[in-house]
Homo-oligomer: A and B are copies of this chain.
Amino acid sequence: MQTPAVRAARAARGGWRRLLPSLPVLDWGRRYDRATFAGDAVAALIVTIMLIPQSLAYALLAGLPPEAGLYASVAPLLLYAVFGSSRVLAVGPVAVVSLMTAAAVGEHAPPGSAAYWPVAITLAFLSGTMLLAMGLLRLGFIANFLSHPVISGFITASGLLIAASQLKTLMGVQAQGHNFVDLLLALARQAAQTHWLTLTVGMLATAFLFWVRKRLKPLLIAWGLGPRLADFLAKAGPVAVIAVTTGLAWGLDWPSQGMKIVGAIPQGLPAFKLPSWDLALWRDLAMPALLISVVGFVESVSVGQTLAAKRRQRIAPDQELVALGASNLSAAFTGGFPVTGGFARSVVNFDAGAQTPAAGVFTAAGILLATLFLTPALYFLPQATLAATIIVAVLSLVDFGILRRTWAYSKPDFAAVAATLLATLALGVETGLLVGVGVSLALYLWRTSRPHIATVGLVPGTEHFRNVLRHAVRTSPALLSLRVDESLYFANARSLEDHVNDAVAAQPALRHVVLQCSAVNAIDASALESLEAIEHRLRDAGITLHLSEVKGPVMDRLRRTDFLRQLGGQVFLTHYQAVAALTPEVLSEPAMRPAGSRPCD
């Protein structure tokens, strides 16, 4: 039943050609003009100002020296500009991926040791390779198995873990913990060693940043500033905090009083680095690299799709995998660590008027200039200021409302959120994510293994059939209409047999059973055997089995089997035709079947 067009479409999809990535830069680069440049340049300026402190802070969160954050914000942005299909995605270090990097690398080297950075580079290399392979093999659908509830629970738990991990920097103490409770207990034990000057500066910085985020923009507008200028000033809040605290640390000589500062950052271009070729390390890092890849891809595609839709553009998920893969490989070879498209920076880039990925190129140039000339000015920047920046950024990720919303909508979704959230807090990011995926898949399989099967009857005045327990409908004692509300496959095939057996036993005058297959989207080999078993049993009891509304793809497959040849009954195009042929009295009869005795949900 395939049309020529269908066959042509299929042929075009196949072939070796699909293995070649496309280059979106050839599309937008060709039509680049002055107006586009203006939008991109302004956006790049704002994003650069935002990215400098963030890249330093996320490098520290990942357990790396601050310059690693700057290096991860140059080459990846250039590669994304060449391969990326989103016009406005801002690639670079992000909070959750930095936390996952710290968790994975910390298993193999102590943070701050010489062995640590090479492991982070290897992790970026593996993650980049996996993303690239997934993109070339069109495996982007794998990310679909991270459900929204799992992502929400994971992001909220990660936000809490990151905030807790920054408290030690804010307090000026040393504290390690593999999970949320350990971390808080370690902080409590170190509370006596709190460096009060650091804590005071950190708390004030945090409070100021919260105030800027929530209140400054409306206040500036109330004072008569234009909304765009007000917005820009509000975004520059972190820069102000950095400038003021760095100046005070220098002027009042805070480091001599024991406050930790960023210190010397090497000036100059990122050096060419190579990942480790230790296969045992690769094997150990494979699972973290895969999880980082999937989480990074999901975060990137979500924000990319949301922003593209606002301008009626599309992004190509498989192309995004290629672009993120290339970005991470470049991060590995230039001394960075795993990167992805960040939510907050991409929104800022979009709002600031970025038109093309050239904005990313200009941002990379900005960061490169900062690396060359600005690093001496950051020498006295207190680490507590960076911790404050992170805390304010990640607490916006924490959303406990998802628990309430999923509880109201669907208990399995709630269970998936809660399991992911608790497992991530208690067992860490990797285990937490795997638990979430496992729980959500298990709950889905469990649901489909217990299908809803409704006895249906004719809605008077229509040709439509609905559940006898929910609607006033017409039925006949000689005909049982069952609507199976699930594809039939191995996990639920036996429960269909049981249901038909029970239903037949309860209706002694029965002569026909019609399975309305409008909701049966597939019948696998196990379910086919169950249908054959049902047919045999009904036949032995003098009852004929019929099917109705079998879908095209299902029917194509059934035609290849003996089942249809041996079926005593017929296959009707519509359920109405089945009832009209088998028990025409139902069509005219005024009697209604009363609400019955089987559960309806």
Give the B-binding residues of A (Cβ under 8 A).
Answer: 1-3, 5-6, 9-10, 141, 144-150, 309, 312, 314, 405-406, 408-410, 412-413, 440-441, 444-445, 447-452, 454, 459, 462-464, 466-467, 469-470, 485-487, 489-495, 501, 518-522, 524-526, 528-529, 533, 536-537, 540-541, 549, 551-553, 556-557, 560-561, 573-574, 576-577, 595-601
Chain A to chain B contacts (Cβ below 8 Å), 10 pairs = A1-B600, A144-B495, A145-B490, A408-B560, A413-B526, A467-B551, A485-B553, A486-B521, A552-B600, A553-B600
Q: Tell which of A440, A490, A577 has the most Cβ of chain B within 10 Å.
A: A490
| Min CB–CB distance A95 → chain B (angstroms) | 22
B486 and A601 contact, CB distance less than 8 A: no
Which listed residue, B451, B490, B522, B528, touches A447 by the CB 8 Å rule? B522
Which listed residue, B144, B521, B556, B595, touches A490 by the CB 8 Å rule? B144
Given known pairs A147-B524, A309-B537, the reply for A597 and B141 (CB within 8 Å) is: no
Task: Return the chain B residue nearest A414 by Cβ.
Answer: B525
B522 and A519 contact, CB distance less than 8 A: no
Which listed residue, B2, B148, B309, B409, touches A600 by the CB 8 Å rule? B2
| Min CB–CB distance A245 → chain B (angstroms) | 40
| Min CB–CB distance A465 → chain B (angstroms) | 10
A573 and B10 contact, CB distance less than 8 A: no
Task: Return the chain B residue nearest A469 by Cβ.
Answer: B3
B525 and A489 contact, CB distance less than 8 A: no
Given known pairs A6-B598, A445-B145, A462-B576, the reply for A525 and B406 (CB within 8 Å) is: yes
Query: CA–CA, A560 to B404, complex, Å?
Result: 12
A309 contacts across to B, CB distance below 8 A: 533, 536-537
A3 contacts across to B, CB distance below 8 A: 469, 595-597, 600
Q: Tell which of A9, A144, A541 has the most Cβ of chain B within 10 Å.
A: A144
A450 contacts across to B, CB distance below 8 A: 141
Query: CA–CA, A526 to B491, complex, Å?
Result: 23
Given known pairs A470-B1, A552-B600, A599-B10, the reply for A147 and B409 (CB within 8 Å) is: no
A467 and B522 contact, CB distance less than 8 A: no
Which listed residue, B459, B487, B552, touches A486 by the CB 8 Å rule? B487
Which listed residue, B409, B454, B487, touches A528 by the CB 8 Å rule? B409
| Min CB–CB distance A528 → chain B (angstroms) | 7
Query: CA–CA, A576 to B459, complex, Å?
Result: 13
Query: CA–CA, A494 to B316, complex, Å?
Result: 12
Given known pairs A408-B560, A441-B445, the reply for A462 and B141 (CB within 8 Å) is: no
Which listed residue, B312, B492, B524, B601, touches A144 by the CB 8 Å rule? B492
Given known pairs A469-B6, A576-B464, the reply for A529 and B561 (CB within 8 Å) is: no
A410 contacts across to B, CB distance below 8 A: 524-525, 557
A491 contacts across to B, CB distance below 8 A: 141, 144-145, 147, 444
Query: CA–CA, A470 to B556, complex, Å?
Result: 11
Which listed residue, B409, B412, B452, B553, touches A553 by the CB 8 Å rule? B452
| Min CB–CB distance A210 → chain B (angstroms) | 28
Which listed residue, B6, B463, B469, touches A463 by the CB 8 Å rule? B463
A528 contacts across to B, CB distance below 8 A: 409
Given known pairs A560-B409, A595-B3, the reply for A148 and B459 (CB within 8 Å) is: no
A448 contacts across to B, CB distance below 8 A: 487
| Min CB–CB distance A295 → chain B (angstroms) | 15
A522 contacts across to B, CB distance below 8 A: 447
A447 contacts across to B, CB distance below 8 A: 522
B141 and A449 contact, CB distance less than 8 A: yes
Query: CA–CA, A541 to B501, complex, Å?
Result: 50
Task: Return the chain B residue nearest A601 by Cβ.
Answer: B553
> Which 5 residue pairs are nearest across A and B when measured between Cβ atoms?
A147-B490, A413-B525, A148-B526, A463-B463, A553-B601
Q: Tell which of A459, A520, A524 has the most Cβ of chain B within 10 Å.
A: A524
Query: CA–CA, A446 to B273, complex, Å?
Result: 39
